[in-house]
Structure 1
Amino acid sequence: MKKRLLTSALAIGAAGMLALSGCAAGDTSEASGDSKGTIDIGLFNWDEAIAVSNLWKHVLEEEGYEVNLTDADPGAVFLGLSEGDFDVVLDVWLPLTHQDYLEEYGDNIVELGAWNDEAVLTIAVNEDAPIDSLEELADNADLFNNQLVGIEPGAGLTTVTTDTVIPTYGLEGMEYTTSSTPAMLSELKAATGAGENIAVTLWRPHWAYDAFPLKDLEDPEGTLGEAESLYSYGSLTFEDDFPEVAERLKAFRMDSETLHSLENAMFNENDDPANYEAIITEWLADNPDFADSLTA
């Protein structure tokens, strides 16, 4: 059965996805005669989600599938997956970051397995900052313009920072700004380029660690949790609708070094989303063993 129309929130996200993938949102053209079907992937505006989703879009379209990418806030993505608006989501962080969404929607989505188990949430500062621990940040807040720069308001990292990090380390006196990941990265680039101190919410793996001189503040109270895993999740009908793709996603593995390599090519060495397709094509050619693992 064809999935229901996207909600207005998701439709808005789809428009934003034009900038991410260069695909035409809302394209209702008929599939070509040899199409294997249309797969709708939901993603948050996180760089590993953009990288991995565009990677699978490229691989699957080479094989005759049609793939739509839609960007939206995490809540809208999980809702869309649970209602069948999306077939699959490739960037679910567990056991901490997205646990609240799993508690809400877990009965209506299906785990396809973890593809990376090296992810961690961080509070990062410029490498030459005069502090090394979150315990020191409150007493030195003025050195960071009394500001902690965050990402999207609906992100799990934002919730953890607000509910746990800030009260644990007495950071209530700092201005915690949340807007978007691109906005945070823009401020990070400007500050490090000017030799100024800056504190941001970040995560590993992320290409920013290769692009900017950064260090993670120690978290002696463990407020940001231990290492997390990145999972793929499908809709309730995904395994029946696309059994071969589901099996391949269950077998999918990508370590942080490989992910960093792809992210660097897509984001650190490029600032135009229209180039993603060509970059991925070249990157796969340069990484034939990994390319073979995606098509096995």
Structure 2
Amino acid sequence: MKSFTKIALSGVAVAGLLGVAGCSSSGSSDETLENGDAKDVTIAVFNGWDEGIAASELWKAVLEGEGYEVELEYADPAPVYQGLSDNDYDLTLDTWLPVTHKSYIDQYGDKITDLGAWNEEAKLTIAVNEDAPIDSLDELADNADLFGNQLVGIEPGAGLTEVTTDKVIPEYGLEDMDYLTSSTPAMLTELKAATDKGDNVAVTLWRPHWAYDAFPIKDLEDPKGALGGAEGIHSFGSNEFEEKYPTLTGWLQNFSMDNEHLYSLENVMFNENDTDDYGPIVEQWIADNQEYVDGLTK
């Protein structure tokens, strides 16, 4: 499990990346691989969404093994979708549909390329400590004082934040609670501190996420369906993606990763190691899951 210090430092590191990383021109080289694809690939990664970081690091390792040159750039969703539509980014692997990122796809969908869902088990949640005295969102308003009258969120621009603001809060009468938005690392820090002390805490979260293995937490039931049902995690490419990457297009359209594999990769990256140097960790995971990984490029 990550230590408290490790979580805090990761937040600083990601924030630094977010502050300096803008859309860079993808495909900076005109070099083409033997399989017909452009050699350079820029993958945009949503800040704080660990399943996207894990999938992006996995594909970085896989593609570099195939001769590609891969760059990961961290950014908020809005500039990512703008960048994809402008062909400044080539790919992002963490679009949740039909709910979480709907507004972005409504705006940019006709200018970017949907490469299909690689996981169909995703879900937005409101999580609390496992021994909290409530089990449902419709109990939260009447017991808000037990949670310090706070709901701890993630990045202001995240789709989960939009759904919480527009759906969850009004549906369940949570307007009098303080809804705190900052960053995913900050939310995880609050979650760890509260569960370590045995305090009640309520946070916006999502499955799949390594926090469910790291902390004693449970999801509040959502009887009104404000958070939506199960979602698919899609890969989206730039407007020119299929033309620039005919082989990679096929690989990504066939890409599938169930929660068992995803949790396994997330756990070794974010729980079991105290480093942000994910390369060697992912390489070892690939070696331990070689049959699955070999199938990604068939």
Q: TM-score, normalised by structure 1?
A: 0.89
Alignment coverage as a number of residue pairs: 279
Paired residues of 1:14 and 1:69 also in contact (CA < 8 A):
no
Q: CA-to-partner distance for each residue in 1:139-184, whole Å, 9 max, x for gaps?
A: 1111111100000101111011011111111111110000111111
- Match of 1:221, SS state, is coil
| 2:106 paired residue number | 103
Q: CA-to-partner distance for each residue in 1:184-225, whole Å, 9 max, x for gaps?
A: 111111111111110000000111000001100001100000
Which blocks of at least 5 consecutive residues in structure 2 are unaligned? 1-13
For residues 18 and 262 of structure 1, the distance between their equivalents in structure 2, rounded to whole angstroms, comes to 27
Q: CA deviation at 1:295?
A: 2.5
Quick check: 1:126 aligned with 2:129? yes
Q: CA deviation at 1:124?
A: 0.2
Paired residues of 1:14 and 1:26 also in contact (CA < 8 A):
no
| 2:217 paired residue number | 214
Quick check: 1:53 aligned with 2:50? no
Q: CA-to-partner distance for each residue in 1:257-280, whole Å, 9 max, x for gaps?
A: 110110011001123212x00110
**Corresponding letter in the other structure for 1:125:** V
Paired residues of 2:151 and 2:179 also in contact (CA < 8 A):
yes
Correspondence list, 1:155-170, <5 A = 155-170=158-173
Identity %: 62
Quick check: 1:290 aligned with 2:292? yes
Quick check: 1:114 aligned with 2:124? no
- Match of 1:40, SS state, is strand
**Corresponding letter in the other structure for 2:46:** F
Q: 1:145 to 1:221 in 2, by over 3 A?
A: same
Q: 1:215 to 1:165 in 2, by over 3 A?
A: same
Paired residues of 2:154 and 2:204 also in contact (CA < 8 A):
yes
Correspondence list, 1:254-293, <5 A = 254-274=257-277, 276-293=278-295
Correspondence list, 1:136-151, <5 A = 136-151=139-154
| 1:38 paired residue number | 40
Paired residues of 2:154 and 2:183 also in contact (CA < 8 A):
yes
Correspondence list, 1:236-251, <5 A = 236-251=239-254
Paired residues of 1:17 and 1:69 also in contact (CA < 8 A):
no
| 1:193 paired residue number | 196
Greater displacement, 209-218 / 264-273: 264-273
**Corresponding letter in the other structure for 1:215:** K
Q: CA-to-partner distance for each residue in 1:64-114, whole Å, 9 max, x for gaps?
A: 111111111111110000100011111110000011101100110011111
For residues 114 and 131 of structure 2, the distance between their equivalents in structure 1, rounded to whole angstroms, comes to 41
| 1:9 paired residue number | none
Which blocks of at least 5 consecutive residues in structure 1 are unaligned? 1-12
For residues 214 and 52 of structure 1, the distance between their equivalents in structure 2, rounded to whole angstroms, comes to 24
Q: 1:27 to 1:99 in 2, by over 3 A?
A: closer
**Corresponding letter in the other structure for 2:69:** E
For residues 18 and 76 of structure 1, the distance between their equivalents in structure 2, rounded to whole angstroms, comes to 12
Correspondence list, 1:165-180, <5 A = 165-180=168-183
- Match of 1:93, SS state, is strand
**Corresponding letter in the other structure for 1:267:** F
Question: Which 4+ residue blocks in structure 1 deviate beyond 6 angstroms?
Answer: 17-20, 25-35
| 2:10 paired residue number | none
Q: 1:181 to 1:15 in 2, by over 3 A?
A: closer
- Match of 1:273, SS state, is coil
